[in-house]
Amino acid sequence: MDITIDGPTFYDQEDENIFFSCIYELPDYKQVRGHGMELTISFNQSPSDEAIIKLLVICRRWHISANVLERFKRKTNLECYLWKNEIPG
pLDDT at 13: 96
How far apart are alpha carbons 43 and 45 in whole angstroms?
A: 5
Q: Which band of pLDDT confidence, cut at 50, 70 and 90, is reported for residue 18?
A: very high
Instruction: Assess contact for 49 and 76: CB atoms under 8 A.
Output: yes
Region for 54 from its dihedrals, namely left if φ exceeds 0, alpha if ψ lies in -120 to 50, beta otherwise: alpha
Its pTM stands at 0.89
What does the pLDDT look like over 20-77, one tens digit per residue? Answer: 999 999 999 999 999 989 999 999 999 999 999 999 999 999 999 999 999 999 998 8
Q: How crowded is residue 10: how many other Cβ atoms within 10 Å of its Cβ?
A: 14
Q: Which band of pLDDT confidence, cut at 50, 70 and 90, is reported for residue 84?
A: confident
pLDDT at 1: 93
